Copies of this chain bind each other. A is one copy, B any other.
């Protein structure tokens, strides 16, 4: 469900490197040429280009691009060029170091990835930052958020499809009781959400709705301004319907005064090769505007062209 388009037979990495070298070299930078190459190459090929470029020109392609590009376009190209686990490690580090309660990046990386992807990110994190991810998260968060986020980023969830229905029933009941008691940071709530498999939790959420009438996320909205409740809702959405979570982040990034380019860039660079097609469909259903039209309205110049190329402009 990727939106990435690329030529049926990919040019050799050396040829792509040469094109990029031409685009970067000399007085002006040819952003259009950079986009026409990098926005149409799959992840493994981009890695090969980076390696080959280094061999031919003796420069790190990312550093060269970093020097030539600016602002939102620069950040989008940088994130796009990193391997998924490396990119998540960078994003997680930024999020941990300047953490605030409304930041959802750690939740996204801990929950809307597979167990092995999260683990690969933890490895990259150590290689890059010489500390563990959970170490930084626990040193820079506090209170209820720390109690929630540390087990979340340390989790290695079971991914089998087995479901224990009796357990789903009993844990739905625990969740309902704690929500009713206004005690949503209770350690049982955190234990259930951070350790159970996604299949098990989906069964628990279904039982919750059948047994108690409302979807759990509706009951978790008693105070829409409470950031902890909002974090719990994000976790539940990332478990049960990750594509709806991503659609919502994109929607909120544009439905405001001044676009939230950081969120927009993050979702598009991390989801293009995963489920962007589904996110686009949901976006259209929810907003009655195709995503590419919304992006065209909210962004400008090279940044706009790059995002549109990634989400497959025109084929919405």
Contacts and interface: CB of A to CB of B under 8 A. Distances in A.
Contacts of A132: 155-158, 195, 197
A55 interface: no
Contacts of A131: 158, 197
B158 A195 contact: no
A237 interface: no
A123 B133 CA distance: 19
Contacts of A122: 156
A122 B160 CA distance: 14
A132 B138 CA distance: 22
A134 interface: yes
A172 to B, nearest CB: 15
A138 B132 CA distance: 22
A187 B141 CA distance: 12
A146 B150 CA distance: 14
Contacts of A186: none
Contacts of A151: 134, 150-151, 154
Contacts of A130: 158, 160, 162
A196 B160 contact: no
B154 A156 contact: yes
A139 to B, nearest CB: 7
- Size category of the binding interface on chain A: 20 to 34
Contacts of A66: none
A103 interface: no
A119 interface: yes
Contact of A119 (B119, B133, B147, B191): B119
Nearest to A126: B158
A157 B138 CA distance: 13
Contacts of A139: 191, 195
Interface string A105-125: 000000000000001001100
A134 B187 contact: no
A68 interface: no
Given A132-B195, A138-B195, A139-B191, A155 B154 contact: yes
Contacts of A126: 156, 158-160
A60 interface: no
Contacts of A196: 135
6 contacts: A132-B195, A134-B151, A135-B197, A139-B191, A139-B195, A150-B151
Question: Shortest 4 CB-CB distances between A and B: which pairs?
Answer: A154-B154, A135-B195, A138-B191, A132-B158
Given A126-B158, A138-B191, 9 more contacts: A122-B156, A126-B156, A134-B151, A135-B196, A138-B195, A146-B191, A150-B151, A151-B154, A154-B154
